[in-house]
Copies of this chain bind each other. A is one copy, B any other.
């Protein structure tokens, strides 16, 4: 008998019918003899409905009150799911974040969990009840309602799993696991049975939108075994995300991630001097533009070239800021390109195997793909290429690293 924390997202509980089928799923696990804590999101559409009402009153709603408003979304779901469980003869108890003391800091709209009091939940579990907890929400020290920000329900589930020392935290979503790459681009993409926290972090941040990054970090920190599963299919075992398992023969590369939303800005011929990076990137950050890749090359004439990528939506603004900066610093030129994409290979196997980068570059060269930028980390190599080469690059790399072979 295990203790399992399950999380069902907004799509999985999007209608009364879907809530009923979640109840069936939960009872299936109960019947296998497991203790179950369920964490749910707001029904899909509900949060938008609430935000619209708030914005009709205040373009920037007071953060404290926005949290009071949004927290109702999950509260509706916990009540309905508990009813569906009770109807099936399964005793259940619903709780808001407030009721089970999911303590957070006081940063409204993006609070962080600091502590969970697991006493009340344990008492219910001991009585054989399924416990249904509202995700995404908590309360601060003074009892104010807080929310964790987008995707926060994943984090709620992982935090509860950590507090309860659960055997597994299952995240139910509309895909049945983590894939070697996007199956819409490479039909041969395979579901991974297992992936490490680190790999998942690199995959997630690169655009594989299965899990919230914060929840993976949290799981990694507390050693919570995470499993991504489909809420619409019954058979799949999903993908397990855990610490590296050394006994397994590790594949070199676990997956290929890509990001279509990138744009790059280059500033050429900047007089090189201490602090120049800050002078260039500071104004970008000041405008709340998030930087992704950053590359600096020192040219021969003691000037330096900078290239960085931003979200495509921020391209025009970034370019304008950079032209201003170039004037101030006496740089030669500013160029930009919004028709680029980022392709990355991710795998912990990189640590122990040489030659992976050259396989990547060689593969792309063979296909005639021109690499515009390169950036590497311990378990990831990213390249920027022209938008038109995205599918070609991903498919070629997927094949070159044998990801289409059965594990």
Contacts and interface: CB of A to CB of B under 8 A. Distances in A.
Interface of A: 16, 19-20, 50, 53-54, 56-58, 61-62, 64-66, 68-69, 71-72, 75-76, 78-80, 82-84, 86-87, 92-94, 96, 98-99, 143-145
A interface SS class: helix
The 7 closest A-B pairs by CB, nearest first: A69-B79, A72-B72, A68-B79, A65-B82, A16-B56, A65-B79, A62-B86
29 contacts: A16-B57, A19-B57, A50-B76, A53-B76, A53-B80, A57-B80, A58-B83, A58-B87, A61-B83, A62-B83, A64-B94, A65-B79, A65-B80, A65-B83, A65-B94, A66-B79, A68-B75, A68-B82, A68-B94, A69-B75, A69-B79, A69-B83, A71-B75, A72-B72, A75-B75, A96-B98, A98-B99, A99-B144, A99-B145
A66 B98 CA distance: 18
A116 to B, nearest CB: 15
Contacts of A93: 64
A234 to B, nearest CB: 21
A92 to B, nearest CB: 8
A145 B20 CA distance: 23
Contacts of A16: 53, 56-57
B99 A143 contact: yes
Among A58, A65, A80, A86, residue most surrounded by chain B Cβ atoms (within 10 Å): A65
Given A16-B53, A58-B84, A68-B78, 16 more contacts: A16-B56, A54-B79, A57-B83, A57-B87, A61-B83, A62-B82, A64-B93, A65-B83, A66-B79, A69-B80, A72-B75, A75-B75, A96-B98, A98-B99, A99-B143, A99-B145
Contacts of A71: 75
A52 to B, nearest CB: 9
Contacts of A80: 53-54, 57, 65, 69
Contacts of A144: 99
A2 to B, nearest CB: 26
A236 B221 CA distance: 63
Contact of A86 (B20, B58, B87, B99): B58
A84 to B, nearest CB: 5
A82 B96 CA distance: 21
A163 to B, nearest CB: 18
A68 to B, nearest CB: 4
Contacts of A143: 99
Nearest to A56: B16
B69 A86 contact: no
B72 A57 contact: no
B20 A57 contact: yes
Contacts of A57: 16, 19-20, 80, 83-84, 87
A27 to B, nearest CB: 14
A97 to B, nearest CB: 11
Contact of A83 (B54, B72, B83): B54
A106 to B, nearest CB: 14
A65 to B, nearest CB: 4
A61 B84 CA distance: 9
Nearest to A54: B83
A10 to B, nearest CB: 15
A98 B97 CA distance: 12
Contacts of A68: 75, 78-79, 82, 94, 96
